[in-house]
A and B are shown apart, each in its own frame.
Chain A
């Protein structure tokens, strides 16, 4: 294909996106579009399955049957999200095994927040309320993103995430209205998860390398800083409602902006965790890689059985 033809295709492609048309797997797309989508969608899928670990940590110790069932269902939803995000990613011509390989070797990233430990039951509330809350803010605009399979997957993901967020907040309400010990547990969880949740919305706009291109392809509708502000403005009144204190002495309503001003985020901590030196980076990878390696003989057996079955069917067909 000549350069001119490619330029022509690119122009048509950009025009389709500008008209809000969906790009489908078999459509022509620029290589960079394909790669960027593989990167973002797989990062999202990896975050879902690594995210199962900190919450899975409390399944055996959930304090009531009702909470246990809800937590199991939530972690199962995350596995489901992982599954269809990996499938959506596969439509771009990469296999799940290759994507796992990228995760296991550290080539692909996942949301850094899952490298923090879940030390008390209240962390199940804080994760639902804050982490899923921040995730929704990130993800709702993606329901209208340009790549069809991703947009459709996100519609379902967002519905479930919003349920998880309410569920998490409900855990916090119960704790905040409970005994002194429960209230302390809730406040402690908020103290530990607040700042990492703000960091979860990504580096500040001047440090974000992918923003401009992603905005053009509707992979992103708002900048990281805008999303972060939206998250803070939405969450602060919720904390006030249940009598918990946001751990930021500089948090103050700004009448003029119609938003909260907030304190300085410790970006050194963010980059430390992103680079693999957070409290649980090693444990999370060890758990994922361990499960994968321990399961190899099981997956081999399933493949061997399937091909034997196929042969048997072929033999019977003649």
Chain B
């Protein structure tokens, strides 16, 4: 099996899986019917992408592996999403800040992944980028609304951005597999996205009358399977049925 490629795919797909799981949990509990529809839609898009990636990964793995085996039956150290996407929905500002900080990266990442020498990854990227450009517009617009809305919303979104900022640097961290994939022209060199990412993010924050966090202390670990304490609970829900009723079809 192409082990490096397999792990590389998980690294991409797990972000969509965990963020999709977070967004899906909000359905019916948002501030308005319109935001409920949008958040559910984002979740749906992300799970659609997840299925594309895992179906490809399952094919690479062979042994009758299915997309669901990969999604539901790994242990907590075997998920490789970045720490940012597993952060909780403390309030709507956190949901939007998390989405914005991830979308801004996701869009740049998929733009590059379209050029991958791996034709499947390139095809998934081409399909996904249309969805993600909408996600980015949605979350950026809300950053502006909350930042330049009322005093309370300004405070809330500033706090969320400040709190989540610590997880942004990990987006540009490379694992050994990532480096090999870049060398083979399959993977994206994320280190080269960093500057343009912060330029874009800072631009929107400024437009939203928000301060750009100055902290230089960053957290990472997700890409190596070392997560925050939140992931365990996310997996408890995600895996509940497959663990409780093993080897069944649904």
Contacts and interface: CB of A to CB of B under 8 A. Distances in A.
B248 interface: yes
B216 to A, nearest CB: 30
Contacts of A61: 237-238, 240-241
A32 B60 CA distance: 66
Given A174-B249, A181-B245, A298-B146, A291 B50 contact: no
A295 B27 contact: no
A59 B238 contact: no
Q: Which of B27, B41, B241 neighbours the largest number of chain A CB atoms within 10 Å of its CB?
A: B27
A32 B127 CA distance: 51
Nearest to A78: B28
Contact of A297 (B37, B67, B153): B153
Interface residues of B, number: 47
Contacts of A291: 28-31
Nearest to B70: A65
Contacts, number: 137
A298 B32 contact: yes
Nearest to A50: B28
Contacts of A296: 31
A72 B45 CA distance: 10
A280 interface: no
A76 B47 contact: no
A294 B31 contact: yes
Nearest to B50: A65
B27 A52 contact: yes
B31 A299 contact: yes
A47 B153 CA distance: 31
Given A61-B237, A72-B44, A76-B41, A304 B150 contact: yes
Given A61-B240, A295-B31, A300-B152, A179 B44 contact: no
A181 to B, nearest CB: 6
Given A121-B241, A298-B92, A305-B149, A79 B36 contact: yes
A9 interface: no
Nearest to A175: B250
Interface string B100-114: 000000000000000
Contacts of B32: 295, 298-299
Interface in B36-54: 36-37, 40-41, 43-44, 47-48, 50-51, 54
Contact of A300 (B34, B148, B149): B149
B146 A79 contact: no
A75 B31 contact: no
A83 B43 CA distance: 19
Contact of B27 (A75, A175, A299, A301): A75
Nearest to B153: A301
B44 A76 contact: yes
B241 A62 contact: yes
Contact of B150 (A66, A82, A301): A301
Nearest to B51: A65
Contacts of B21: 60
11 contacts: A60-B238, A61-B237, A64-B68, A69-B51, A72-B43, A75-B28, A76-B44, A79-B36, A295-B30, A300-B149, A300-B152
Given A79-B37, A178-B249, A295-B92, 17 more contacts: A60-B237, A63-B248, A65-B54, A72-B24, A72-B40, A72-B44, A79-B40, A82-B33, A171-B250, A179-B248, A181-B248, A298-B31, A298-B92, A298-B153, A299-B32, A301-B145, A305-B149
